[in-house]
Structure 1
Amino acid sequence: MSAIEPQPESSELTTLRTSSLTSVVEKEIERMILGGTLKPGERLNEFQLANRFGMSRGPLREAMRSLNARGFVEVVRNRGVFVRQIPVEEALEIYDLRSAVFGLAGRLLADRLTDEMLVDLKSYLVRMDQLAEEQDFEAYYPLNLEFHAYLVTATGSKTLKREYQSFVDRLHLCRARTLVQANGLAVSNHEHREMVDALASGNVSRAHEAFFRHVQRAKLRFVSTLRDADIRRD
């Protein structure tokens, strides 16, 4: 009886393997950035990372592209990939601008809220409460972004949505570190619940204040992570 010849791996299976590997590497590099192993402004050496993870450069480059799109790294032409950094003063200014725009979103949405929207928002809260209790940052963070995007989109203002997103894109790393290092998951979702309660009340001023205050509190948590980092360096 002749031996069965091994069959070449299908293109679909190859794609699945590559996709899974890319996802694993992306999460590990994200963990290294959030944990401080990779510092803001540090160049990511593709050769060293490929050796570290025992992988080819193809999936690694895919992971880098995804991290760039999510705001964790930036690609500098003819220089390479660097951990994204933003001056503290600029970050604080963006937090203030974001709080103003987000406060306006609360005011506008309070006049547009429907029963269906309220059901959707409460569903977000339940899911994020569970993830916060489990301390599952990897699942919480994208759902948190989705929740905020839902709120802003529901205002019906395309201009507000565009401007708000520009601030979000520049603050990704600050927000992610704040949630991780300041134990902010449960605290953040408590504030989300205050926002939804304010919307449900139909009180426009209350909704504006709740949305504005949420971002200002996030700014304070960001400042606290900077102080903690200074203490650790001392």
Structure 2
Amino acid sequence: MERLKQEGLLVSKHNKGSFVAEIRQEELEEIYELREIIEWNAIKKSLPGLLDSDIAYLSEVFEKMKQAAEIDDLFQFIDLDMEFHRFFYFKSGNKTILQIWDQINVKIKRFLAIANKLYYSDLMTIAEGHLPLIEALQRRNEEEIEKLFMQHLKDVWWLMNKKNNTRG
């Protein structure tokens, strides 16, 4: 319980107990801003040492994502999505960046559990959004990789803001 409180997932109220913390829009925006900065850094650091076996691993994760999408297993799907992105934090060799990712990972998962169902028609659409990333990695074109990964990270924000703006 204390660890969950430290991670901001639980809130204690005196004489009332502990409750699941709300996901605040401001906090999510800050997390995604941080993620844009550190994820591209992790990807860039991992590119020189990227092996064909690494791309094969990412392709396997992608295939498992598609399988989870086919059976609409949201939680398995999110775990695989996080595994796909965590690969670059691990591969970068920067233990501090990996540690930051592991700390924000839980909050991102909570957000994705809501956003994936709310802003996408199905999980397969999200899964297939990873294929251009893998193909760009195979071509080893750093400019293309950066463009596609940044677009990938911003897709959910674009959909969320579009949907929120059409409600007003």
Q: Do Structure 1 and Structure 2 share a fold, with TM-score over 0.5? A: yes
Larger Rg: 1
Residue number in structure 2 paired with 1:76: 12
Residue number in structure 1 paired with 2:139: 201
2:37 counterpart of 1:100: yes
Cα shift at 1:122: 0.7
TM-score, normalisation: structure 1: 0.60
Cα shift at 1:209: 2.1
Residues 104-147 of structure 1: CA distance to partner in whole angstroms, max 9, x if unpaired?
22222222211211111111111111221222213212222222
Residue number in structure 2 paired with 1:151: 88
Residues 65-113 of structure 1: CA distance to partner in whole angstroms, max 9, x if unpaired?
5xx49x7941426442222213212322321221121122222222221
- Seq. identity, %: 22
Q: Is the 8 A contact 1:109 1:199 kept in 2?
A: no
2:66 to 104, 129, 133: 129
**What SS class does the counterpart of residue 10 from structure 2 fall into?**
strand
Gaps of 5+ in 1: 1-64
**What SS class does the counterpart of residue 49 from structure 2 fall into?**
coil
Residue number in structure 1 paired with 2:153: 215
- 2-structure distance, mates of 1:124, 1:134: 16
RMSD in angstroms over aligned alpha carbons?
Answer: 2.8
**What SS class does the counterpart of residue 82 from structure 1 fall into?**
strand
2:92 counterpart of 1:180: no
Residue number in structure 2 paired with 1:53: none
2:41 counterpart of 1:138: no
- 2-structure distance, mates of 1:192, 1:89: 26
**What SS class does the counterpart of residue 111 from structure 1 fall into?**
helix
TM-score, normalisation: structure 2: 0.80
Cα shift at 1:151: 2.6
